[in-house]
């Protein structure tokens, strides 16, 4: 690559982005995925407590296309994807933008390991489009193992005060240590599996292991969080319960509740066993190109 | 009180009874959780570096740091004396606090003095200063390409390596961050 800036918008950055987008769409098409555009304007934004939607009139800008794509899955299309803008308020920094480009793809009948294989292949295709080497190795390991290696603490038995000197809930204490002591040691390609059940979001939880583990995997590339995959929850009763719990937490924190998307909850009950994944395109381009953030590949308004 | 969204490079905060400056920061939002800001902070008294991670919603304390442009007056063997160019008040600063800056201080030069709770804690001189050579071996003409150097003593006592063609009495531009000769001042 040329000596273009690794921190600021450049023509070279936009070319890299375009090449990656073409390669990603090509890979998905070759593997039988249908591109399905869904509305950016949604009646109900994502469920998770720590996502903040940007309001738009009587609707919201979507935080992800997940609800709409799951309705399409429930209608019988087994392999679908969407690439498009998503919006998350209160997120900004070298690796974050309030508006960003998300790729989500869903594969009915597949489990997490098959989709992890696909991530490896898709990243390799994107790397080839930029004439750079993909990660030479990919590891698949659990949250618990990584946490113990970095801190010596076994998460399965740790209580909040073992994790943090701050008086805070277990999840916050866990994530504070994760961000401060575990994540900074990551390199290469890494899939982190078996998340605490409290951080399941829209994934299934299994109870036959050492702890109730969310069937969710986070993909890291050279230390940057790139993608989040779920063995998708297909139980509408549990889905309704999680919505209520998230809204209760949001209310307790003084935030407005998000409206329940009934069409989505009904669709959850009609979905086949599916693994789905959301991948940040801006970050994929930036990490492969070796930038110090997502800026070189994004046109932004000067004030943003 | 600062919010985590106020965190920037150069922000000065009080932590555990010490003044710190933010040297690096990164907003991180792991997976499905709370957002955090990971920071690297430098202790303004000791220079030691601290890693701290702040959760969104947590606050940071401002610190009592003040920076003043002050003119260097003289050194009396014990203290370096500086004058506030605004109100003409003077302050005496120890050798220890002046530190490496002593190599660049000439009378009447303006430097930035940092105060913590009213006490001077460090001096910052400009990135480039101009100093006269008080001693060096005579210049060698025509020898500009070999990269060979000799030692020159400057008016502050600082010794730097200079090219062989440089003469005693010349004024040099010095980079105070690297202690290196940059060029001649004509």
Per-residue pLDDT tens digits for A269-284? 999 999 999 999 999 9
To 5 degrees, how large is the angle CA A40–CA A44–CA A48? 105
Containing structural domain, residue A232: 11-297
pLDDT > 80? residue A164? yes
Same domain? For B13 and B47 the reply is yes
Distance from CA of B30 to the nearest CA of A (A): 7
Report pLDDT for A2. 45
Mean pLDDT in residue range B44-73: 95
**Cβ contact B33–A201 (<8 Å):** no
Same domain? For B118 and B159 the reply is no
**Chain B residues lying within 8 Å of A195, measured CB to CB:** 31-32
Task: Give the model's confidence band at B25: pLDDT under 50 very low, under 70 low, under 90 confident, else very high.
Answer: very high
Domains in chain B, number? 3
Same domain? For B109 and B138 the reply is no
Report pLDDT for A210. 81
Residue of A nearest to B27 (CA): A93
N- to C-terminal Cα separation, chain B:
50
pLDDT > 70? residue A65? yes
In this prediction the pTM is: 0.87
Report pLDDT for A1. 43
- CATH code, B165: 2.40.50.140
Same domain? For B116 and B132 the reply is no
A126 found inside a domain: yes
Average per-residue pLDDT for chain B: 93
Same domain? For B56 and B70 the reply is no
Give one word for B31, left, alpha or beta, with left for phi > 0 and alpha for psi -120 to 50. left
Report pLDDT for A273. 97
Same domain? For B74 and B106 the reply is yes
Alpha carbons A288 and A126: distance in angstroms, whole number: 8
- CATH code, A284: 3.30.930.10
- CATH code, B8: 2.30.30.30
Report pLDDT for A211. 84
Containing structural domain, residue B165: 128-184
Per-residue pLDDT tens digits for B95-142? 999 999 999 999 999 999 999 999 999 999 999 999 999 999 987 776
Per-residue pLDDT tens digits for B133-185? 999 998 777 656 667 889 999 999 999 999 988 999 999 999 999 999 999 98
**Cβ contact A180–B35 (<8 Å):** no
Same domain? For B136 and B102 the reply is no
The three state secondary structure string of A39-52 is CCEECCCCCCCCCC
Domains in chain A, number? 1
Alpha carbons A128 and A246: distance in angstroms, whole number: 41
Alpha carbons B61 and B79: distance in angstroms, whole number: 32
Task: Give the model's confidence band at A3: pLDDT under 50 very low, under 70 low, under 90 confident, else very high.
Answer: low
- How many interface pairs between A and B have CB atoms less than 8 angstroms apart? 65
Torsion of CA A230, A235, A236, A237, to 10 degrees: -120
A304 found inside a domain: no
| Positive or negative: CA dihedral A164, A220, A48, A157 | negative
Residue of B nearest to A217 (CA): B31
Per-residue pLDDT tens digits for A74-126? 999 999 999 999 999 999 899 999 999 999 999 999 999 999 999 999 999 99
Same domain? For B41 and B7 the reply is yes
**Chain A residues lying within 8 Å of B27, measured CB to CB:** 91-96
Using the structure block, give the residue that is written with the tokens 């010349």.
B170
Average per-residue pLDDT for chain A: 94
């Amino acid at each position: 690559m040329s000596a273009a800036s690794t921190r600021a918008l450049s023509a070279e950055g936009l070319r890299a982005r375009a090449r990656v987008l073409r390669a990603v769409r090509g890979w998905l098409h070759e593997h039988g995925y249908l591109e399905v555009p869904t509305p950016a304007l949604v009646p109900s934004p994502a469920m998770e407590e720590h996502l903040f939607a940007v309001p738009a009139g009587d609707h919201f800008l979507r935080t992800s296309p997940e609800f709409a794509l799951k309705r399409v899955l429930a209608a019988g299309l087994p392999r679908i994807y969407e690439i498009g803008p998503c919006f998350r308020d209160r997120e900004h920094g070298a690796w974050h933008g309030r508006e960003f480009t998300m790729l989500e793809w869903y594969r009915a009948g597949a489990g997490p390991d098959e989709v992890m294989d696909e991530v490896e292949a898709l990243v390799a295709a994107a790397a080839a489009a930029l004439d750079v080497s993909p990660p030479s190795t990919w590891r698949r390991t659990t949250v618990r193992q990584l946490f113990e290696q970095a801190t010596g603490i076994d998460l399965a038995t740790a209580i909040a005060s073992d994790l943090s000197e701050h008086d805070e809930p277990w999840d916050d204490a866990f994530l504070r240590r994760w961000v401060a002591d575990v994540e900074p040691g990551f390199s290469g390609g890494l899939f982190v599996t078996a998340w605490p059940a409290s951080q399941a979001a829209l994934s299934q939880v299994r109870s036959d292991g050492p702890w109730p583990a969310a069937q969710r995997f986070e993909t890291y590339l050279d230390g940057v969080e790139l993608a989040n995959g779920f063995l998708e929850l297909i139980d509408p009763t549990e889905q309704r319960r999680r919505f209520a719990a998230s809204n209760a937490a949001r209310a307790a924190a003084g935030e407005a509740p998000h409206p329940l998307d009934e069409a989505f909850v009904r669709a959850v009950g009609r979905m086949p066993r599916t693994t789905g994944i959301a991948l940040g395109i801006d970050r994929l381009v930036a990490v492969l190109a070796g930038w110090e953030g997502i800026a070189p590949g994004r046109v932004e308004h000067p004030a943003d | 009180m600062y919010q985590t969204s106020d965190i920037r490079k150069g922000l000065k905060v009080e932590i555990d009874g010490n003044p710190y400056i933010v040297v690096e920061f990164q907003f991180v939002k792991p997976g499905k959780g709370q957002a955090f800001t990971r920071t690297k902070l430098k202790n303004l008294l000791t220079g030691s570096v601290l890693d701290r991670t702040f959760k969104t919603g947590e606050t940071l304390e401002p610190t009592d740091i003040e920076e003043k442009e002050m003119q260097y007056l003289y050194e009396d063997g014990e203290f370096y004396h500086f004058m506030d160019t605004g109100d003409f008040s003077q302050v005496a600063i120890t050798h220890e606090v002046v530190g490496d800056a002593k190599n660049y201080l000439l009378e009447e030069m303006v430097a930035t003095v940092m105060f913590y709770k009213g006490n001077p804690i460090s001096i910052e001189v400009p990135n480039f200063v101009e100093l006269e050579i008080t001693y060096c071996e005579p210049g060698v003409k025509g020898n500009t390409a070999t990269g060979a150097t000799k030692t020159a003593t400057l008016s502050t006592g600082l010794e730097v390596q200079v090219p062989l063609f440089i003469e005693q009495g010349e004024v040099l531009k010095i980079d105070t961050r690297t202690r290196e000769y940059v060029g001649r001042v004509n």
